[in-house]
Chains A and B, each alone.
Chain A
Amino acid sequence: MNEILSVDDLVVEYNRDGTKVRAVAGVDLRLEKGEILGLVGESGCGKSTLGKAIVGILGAAEGEVIFDGLPVKKLTRGKRPEHFRNLQMVFQDPYGSLNPRRKIGAQVIDGLVIGGMHRSKALARAQELLATVGLPADALGRFPHQFSGGQRQRIAIARALAASASVLIADEPISALDTSSQAQVSNLLVNLVHELSVGMVFISHDLSIVRRISDRVAVMYLGKIVETGTVEQIWESPAHPYTKALIAAIPHADGRSSMPADLPGDVPNPMSPPSGCRFHPRCPLAMPECAVVEPEFVTLADNRQVACHLQKAGQEPVSLELIPRVPAS
């Protein structure tokens, strides 16, 4: 089986003024080795929370995450079990993910030393890894503040590789970088996925980059995944109205001056989500049953998954040609 990560019915809650809020309200996901799964959604959809729960930083209230055959548990005070050290995370902030007071070399070899490797052997290995991410060997003895944001992200990636990561959860890894660094780090990640058959969940709000590098994409809205499919399926024939709205809202720099489509309304408060389908108040295709019954997350004939009353399990996807691009004039 090529599947290395699976998420089933995952629920993550937090406490807000005494009420329990579901940041992730029941999510299913699959990831295969050597695959890049883009996880997209707008502010407040819960994608970062989902990423943290997959890795174990946050605990699950319901459901489970299976990594390489074993269920993931929340991090404790003790050592994280060896099996799970291959499940690593790349963080958004390149300035917070490295300890400012420790040398780069020491930080990169952390995973190896904890695993019992001798320090000198580990440093040799660190040198190899730094070369893999495009940094020179003398970086080992330097401190994080001597590097740019893009370089620090590469160091963080090297650190994850040192732990022999087989799955990387990348939480907005390039959002905080300048454009050239974005391209470099993105290319590095793509390379590693292909060379090492690492599986990667690429969490991002930047749909254009997700489109370029992902194999499959999962779209989140208000704590639930509304659709997953291949990049072509999602972009060319979205099956969920929110996906379609999201893609229609992307402005294109093609000089044709077409205005991106608007999605009126605001994301509801996660403390009190709408009844039935969470998207129904803003959905241009909402039917009466959408306000009452929450749609199930089903698999369609072309192997993608969607939660919408317009789409029926096992059937071919119904086309949603209803939100056209409006030329500006």
Chain B
Amino acid sequence: MILSPNTRKTLKALETPTEKKGKGSTNSIWRQPLAIVGLTIIGVWVFVAVFAPWVAPYDPYSQEFDKFIPPSAEHWMGTDELNRDILSRVIYGARISLPYSILLVVLSTIIGTIVGGVSGFFGGRVDATLMRITDMFFAFPGIILAMAVAAALGPEIRNAVIAITIVAWPVYARLVRGLILNSKSSDYVTASSLLGSSSIRTLFVDLRPNISGPVFVLMALEVGTALLLLSGLSFLGLGATPPSAEWGAMVSMGAVNFDRWWVGLFPGIAILTAVLAFNFIGDTLRDALDPRTAKALRD
């Protein structure tokens, strides 16, 4: 584009861009104390889960010890009602609880995003219908529905995951739909359409970046909930079956043997630390995403 000398002169008067402070690299966000704690804890559990055979002192299924030994030098967390070492079982429990919780969240996100996405994108009757279906799932108390499904399918960890996914997906649908509806009315979406973008392209190019952030935050926060629900079902006997070393099932045994406090406490602490850690990560992610708090975090 050739510009006349006059234009160049005028443009010289235009100021150079004032650079706002802070380019916002994600590195500095992760230096927040909560995030560090959360990541560390999860890191430890992942390590423990992956290297369980080397980390665990004993075979988690071995029943060669005495019953109900309190925590001691040989058994840091004592033994349970079937003569098994609890520490080893807690370590191996990470191999069940963590992957299945994450799997659960991923599945829920996929289903929820598709439903919410279609709903928000098409609007009208499609939206109304899908939202009424979502509302029905919302209306049911989660744990009851999960119990019903799990009971119907039979007690197995895989069925527990299915049951909880059925309960958990609506919250993602609501979120995604809300985000799409919000963004759909923005000027930048209109501008894209004016430039010739089809709605599908707008969905993937313009809307997706605005959706993925909040969805990831929700996922991080929901892993904790998923873990608790999974443990809860196992606690009720609807999830992991014996002799699996699943934290919820172990807590269940602890509840029955309340005077042997170590049986339920240690798996309970394991659940606690994992859920807290995911919540810390989720909170940090959410603060990082909100432009106002993100700026405060960076400065």
Please classify how large the interface on chain A is, using the bins under 10, 10 to 19, 20 to 34, 35 or more: 35 or more
A166 within 8 Å of B by Cβ? no
Q: Which residues between 44 and 100 of chain A lie within 8 Å of chain B, taking CB atoms? A: 55-57, 75, 77-80, 82, 85, 87-89, 91, 93, 96-100
Tell me if A80 and B14 are in contact (CB < 8 A).
Answer: no
Q: A-B contact count, CB below 8 Å?
A: 115
Tell me if A134 and B198 are in contact (CB < 8 A).
Answer: no
B 1-24 to A, binary, CB cutoff 8 A, 1 in contact else 0: 101100100110111111110011
Chain A residues with CB under 8 Å of B17's CB are 135-136, 139, 147-148, 151
Tell me if B291 and A114 are in contact (CB < 8 A).
Answer: no
Q: Contacting A146 at CB < 8 Å: which of B3, B23, B194, B196?
A: B23
A188 within 8 Å of B by Cβ? yes
B 227-259 to A, binary, CB cutoff 8 A, 1 in contact else 0: 000000000000000000000000000000000
Q: Which residues between 198 and 241 of chain B lie within 8 Å of chain A, taking CB atoms? A: 198-201, 205-206, 209-210, 213
Tell me if A184 and B15 are in contact (CB < 8 A).
Answer: yes
Tell me if A191 and B199 are in contact (CB < 8 A).
Answer: no
Tell me if B10 and A191 are in contact (CB < 8 A).
Answer: yes
Tell me if B209 and A110 are in contact (CB < 8 A).
Answer: no
- Smallest beta-carbon distance B101→chain A, Å: 28
Please classify how large the interface on chain B is, using the bins under 10, 10 to 19, 20 to 34, 35 or more: 35 or more
Q: Contacting B206 at CB < 8 Å: which of A80, A99, A163?
A: A99
Tell me if A96 and B196 are in contact (CB < 8 A).
Answer: no
Chain B residues with CB under 8 Å of A154's CB are 14
Chain A residues with CB under 8 Å of B62's CB are none
Chain A residues with CB under 8 Å of B13's CB are 184, 187
A179 to B197, CA, bound (A): 34
B191 within 8 Å of A by Cβ? yes
Tell me if A128 and B14 are in contact (CB < 8 A).
Answer: no
Chain A residues with CB under 8 Å of B191's CB are 89, 91, 97, 156, 159
The contact sample of 23 A-B pairs, CB cut-off 8 A, is A75-B193, A80-B196, A80-B197, A82-B196, A96-B186, A97-B187, A99-B186, A100-B210, A101-B213, A110-B192, A110-B205, A114-B195, A114-B196, A129-B1, A133-B14, A134-B14, A136-B16, A139-B17, A159-B195, A180-B15, A187-B13, A195-B3, A195-B7
Report A's interface with B, CB cutoff 8 A.
Answer: 55-57, 75, 77-80, 82, 85, 87-89, 91, 93, 96-102, 107, 110-111, 114-115, 128-129, 132-136, 139, 142-143, 145-148, 151, 154, 156, 159, 163, 180, 184, 187-188, 191, 195-196
Extra inter-chain contacts (10) besides given A89-B191, A134-B11, A195-B7, CB under 8 Å: A75-B190, A75-B194, A91-B187, A93-B187, A99-B188, A102-B206, A139-B17, A145-B20, A147-B17, A191-B7
Report B's interface with A, CB cutoff 8 A.
Answer: 1, 3-4, 7, 10-11, 13-20, 23-24, 186-188, 190-201, 205-206, 209-210, 213, 291
3 closest residue pairs by CB, A with B: A134-B14, A101-B209, A77-B199
